[in-house]
Structure 1
């Protein structure tokens, strides 16, 4: 990552990809935790475009997917905004909102990369389709959709698919993976570092291995999609689907510091901050602190 970046930030107050209300306030909570000032203090130029407007959901009896049309509209708008940011050679930083917004982020990015890499920092694989999803919640589907698997309207945002190749995806922190997702991971040969590997091998090894893996594939950009539930809920209580036994606060900082040093990351999103479930905005503050490490903040 360059020393000084032009960062363009956009909020997506989406809570329609799942069923627990409150995550739509995530972008506001992250801003309240001082993201703009933090990144400017490091030396970056930051422009905040505000929030994408999310339309109210309506009943859709002909699909298993919850709130499909509203999720599609918001992600299409996000994709177009992100596409413009990359055209202008700005670093896109997306604030969520639930993880369904990654559909739009990746759709806006991958137009500009022939071999985009994705680091999915998350307790979940988010690789369900309408056939495998137990809930119909689209926030559990964005990686599958970005690989070209899922509802046609979501898969073909910006009129092409897939957005990312399975062999260019890395999942870090997985510990709650549905059976259908496990099958897909095996079938597509997707690189997954579960909590077992992190515990056994250590975060330094995991991150170096992940960085080398992407470099070996000659990626021409890497998107970081960080779900705050990837981190142990001791540190991030304000998430909709907490899973105990996650990555620690310090391991997460180390991961972000190593990604900064790798100079690979070309875009990022931080998602699933839910202030209603939080304690004194702790989860948003963790998100902003991790952004500090990702964008080059030094302890000394």
Structure 2
């Protein structure tokens, strides 16, 4: 029997303002998914919240990252909850928030003293450091940070860098294909699959390769990072950096089903869905229904592998 819980992580510290004086609305996603009854529909009974710190636009001069001190502090708070869950063999579903919550989640995994992989589904690769960022937002640097690239204020909390080793990361779904942007991750040891590569190679081949890597590397499990902007903009426009194209819901489900069913699956976070951009709640509700449908079989103990 697999035990699940939801951890609400309503942090928007990793993003710049939507417009002057308006903070990002991703902090409202946990509340929005409570209203859709995600936990009830997925069959999850245990829900906790890790309250965020106040939002600001301040750029930390030492690191070059917006809100770096606050993000480091919040990451430690979130990491403690993730570690507690994983050590009790509970699978946390962490509802963000922006992509900077990945720092706390992977810090929590690393602090268990074990070794994990990461399957990062994102319409951007988020593998950059401050000098390459146009926003100074940690959300767009999250994958690099967890791999140990960037200022130690975020990459080396409690001297645990890297939280996930590059060779144990699959980056899946980028469709911002500018050559200069892609070069950073192409030069890394991360297994990188942009949207054209996914369509060419096939979803099953990539997810099977990832699960094989987890086993062959002797890892203790893996985490899924799900930025909803990996989905096609037609079905998920409620994001801060929308782009044409993306995965259909069918492709999204085909990707996630074998991962969530795996015995190596140890947790997942959901980020970037901004309910303030969804006036009639239809995109949020559709997403919640799809996510509950993916989680329900695992929660009920129908998964294997």
Q: Distance in 2 between matches of 1:73 and 1:261?
A: 33
Q: Secondary structure at the match of 2:187?
A: helix
Deviations 1:97-134 (A, max 9, x none): 01111011100112225331100011111111112212
Alpha-carbon distance change, 256 to 28 in structure 1, aligned in 2, over 3 angstroms: same
1:138 is aligned to 2:138:
yes
Residue number in structure 2 paired with 1:81: 81
Equivalences for residues 129-208 of structure 1 within 5 A: 129-176=129-176, 182-208=182-208
Alpha-carbon distance change, 25 to 186 in structure 1, aligned in 2, over 3 angstroms: same
Q: TM-score, normalised by structure 2?
A: 0.87
Q: Distance in 1 between matches of 2:55 and 2:135?
A: 20
- Structure 2 portions without partners, runs of 5+: 19-23, 301-305
Residue number in structure 2 paired with 1:296: 297
- Deviation at 1:13? 1.4
- Deviation at 1:177? 5.4
1:109 is aligned to 2:109:
yes
Q: Secondary structure at the match of 1:189?
A: coil
Contact 2:147/2:162 (8 A) holds in 1: yes
Aligned residue pair count = 291
1:26 is aligned to 2:25:
no
- Deviation at 1:244? 1.4
Q: Distance in 1 between matches of 2:235 and 2:162?
A: 35
Deviates more, 1:27-36 or 1:223-232: 27-36
- Deviation at 1:159? 3.1
- Deviation at 1:186? 2.9
Alpha-carbon distance change, 182 to 143 in structure 1, aligned in 2, over 3 angstroms: same
Deviates more, 1:17-26 or 1:57-66: 57-66
- Deviation at 1:284? 2.9
Q: Distance in 1 between matches of 2:282 and 2:2?
A: 27
Deviates more, 1:167-176 or 1:188-197: 188-197
- Deviation at 1:167? 0.5
Contact 1:116/1:168 (8 A) holds in 2: yes
Contact 1:125/1:177 (8 A) holds in 2: no
Q: Distance in 2 between matches of 1:113 and 1:282?
A: 42
Residue number in structure 1 paired with 2:61: 62
Alpha-carbon distance change, 52 to 208 in structure 1, aligned in 2, over 3 angstroms: same
Q: Distance in 1 between matches of 2:59 and 2:174?
A: 31
- Deviation at 1:77? 1.0
Residue number in structure 2 paired with 1:35: 38
- Deviation at 1:48? 0.7
